[in-house]
Structure 1
Amino acid sequence: MAKFYDVSLSIQPGMPVWPGDPLVSLDLISRIEDGENANVSRMSMGVHTGTHVDAPFHFVAGAATVESLALDVLIGIAQVIEIDRAVGQITADVLRGATINPGVRRVLFKTRNSDLWARGETRFQKDFVALSEDAALFLVDAGIQLVGIDYLSIAPFDAGVPTHVALLTRGVVIVEGVNLAEVPAGMYRMICLPMKLKAADGAPARMVLEAM
């Protein structure tokens, strides 16, 4: 029987968001208990909430927006790579010591960030593990087409632009906020489908891994 992992964060009020982004609001505006025919909810949040995909337009003026991202990149074989818990930043040197399997085009990094999701941490953490610019360029040179990370940014809190630009200007899709707490390192069939938001710089996504 196939083993599936839903690595999407549940969208809910009180979840951590990037500082300055809108907080999540999810309210019932029509209730059966109040005599209405149906329950109807209203949601308000930023497009980079929870598990989400960054489009090139997020950091590159005039670049591709999220609805135009190629499905053959968002669906396919991915490798979950577990990074040693002592690592505070994923650099090119760290990646040289990791094993990216031959032919892999999608990588998801499991770091100590995943502990935050496992314990239900609701406060935003600035000291999350992220990729340096040289790590991003290393992945580009390795032919990676999609990279995911287990916190709300692929880049360090205080140096967000270089890593994002290094990836997005070279056509690499970024997935952030991936919950890998229960996922062992290894190879998976991945489906990552962002909401089809017209002309948006990103979108929340439902992401599922199937063990191989």
Structure 2
Amino acid sequence: MPTTNAPSIWDISAPVYHASPVYPGDAPYQQRWSASMAEGSVVNLSTLSLSPHVGTHADAPLHYDAQGAAAGALDLAPYLGPCRVVHAIGCGSQVQWQHLAHAITPDLPPRLLVRTYRQAPQDWDPQLSGIAPEVLARLADLGLRLIGIDTASIDPADSHALHSHQVARTRQLRVLENLVLDAVPEGDYELIALPLKLMEAEASPVRAVLRTLGTQSG
């Protein structure tokens, strides 16, 4: 559990701006100003263009299933509630069961967030760590509803079969990617990471936060 002098809220969202790393081939973040107070407008007004996979995001089933639900149709319940953060730093190309076993207890919450980086990279990482598909299946057997990771994908960057995404599809696991867990100790928290109501999109940006269990809103 977090120490008593730890913050009650952790922002575990990646910053989204022009330098945000993107999966090769994805559309980067772009912002165009259509009105500027510096040029005499009464307001600043801009237009954004980006892949919904830029920054911290929730994959919708439509991302890996032609008949899957879009982000806006997702049940929000998996994205809100008790979760466990576990560290698997230096795990290699895939998180294996032995990297998580120390944190898998009978009281495992239905949400698990995995930290693989000592410090989140500022650029695209072709050596990112995914999660082995058999690990996801085993976690689903234990009642897991959501898996999150601090890399850009639950599959290795060079994967074409996307075996782990397919396990997420068949086992109805919800997926969060590009979390920032650098400062978060292992332990149990409340997760809040709601996708936007994007009715035709295969993913959605989220503003993901963790709260110390028992924290009351002000």
Q: TM-score, normalised by structure 2?
A: 0.89
Q: Which residue of 1 aligns with 2:158?
A: 158
Cα distance in 2 for partners of 1:87, 1:103 equals: 21
For 1:119-134, what aligned pairs fall within 5 Å after superposition? 121=122, 123-134=123-134
Greater CA drift, 129-138 or 41-50:
129-138
Match of 1:138, SS?
helix
| Counterpart code for 1:151 | T
Greater CA drift, 2-11 or 44-53:
2-11
The reply to whether residue 137 of structure 1 matches residue 152 of structure 2 is no
Q: Which residue of 1 aligns with 2:42?
A: 37
The reply to whether residue 98 of structure 1 matches residue 99 of structure 2 is no
Query: Are the equivalent residues in 2 in contact too, given 1:56–1:169 (CA < 8 A)?
Result: no
Query: Are the equivalent residues in 1 in contact too, given 2:84–2:108 (CA < 8 A)?
Result: no
Q: Which runs of 5+ in 1 are unaligned?
A: none
Greater CA drift, 36-45 or 132-141:
132-141
Note the C-alpha offset of 1:103: 4.1
Q: Deviations over 1:159-181 (max 9, x none)?
A: 25110010122210000000111
| Counterpart code for 1:129 | S
Q: Which residue of 2 aligns with 1:195?
A: 196
Identity across the alignment (%): 30
| Counterpart code for 2:20 | M
Greater CA drift, 64-73 or 201-210:
64-73
Q: Which residue of 2 aligns with 1:12?
A: 17
Q: 2:72 aligns with which of 67, 92, 95?
A: 67
| Counterpart code for 1:23 | P
Cα distance in 2 for partners of 1:91, 1:23 equals: 31
| Counterpart code for 1:193 | L
Note the C-alpha offset of 1:86: 3.1
Query: Are the equivalent residues in 2 in contact too, given 1:190–1:207 (CA < 8 A)?
Result: yes
Q: Which residue of 2 aligns with 1:115?
A: 119
Greater CA drift, 85-94 or 189-198:
85-94
Cα distance in 2 for partners of 1:46, 1:124 equals: 15
Query: Are the equivalent residues in 1 in contact too, given 2:71–2:201 (CA < 8 A)?
Result: yes
RMSD: 1.6
Q: Deviations over 1:60-119 (max 9, x none)?
A: 111111112112111100100111x33112123433x3322414100000112x5134xx
Q: Which runs of 5+ in 2 are unaligned?
A: 214-218
Cα distance in 2 for partners of 1:152, 1:108 equals: 13
Greater CA drift, 142-151 or 22-31:
22-31
Cα distance in 2 for partners of 1:50, 1:205 equals: 8
Cα distance in 1 for partners of 2:184, 2:167 equals: 28
Query: Are the equivalent residues in 2 in contact too, given 1:55–1:168 (CA < 8 A)?
Result: no
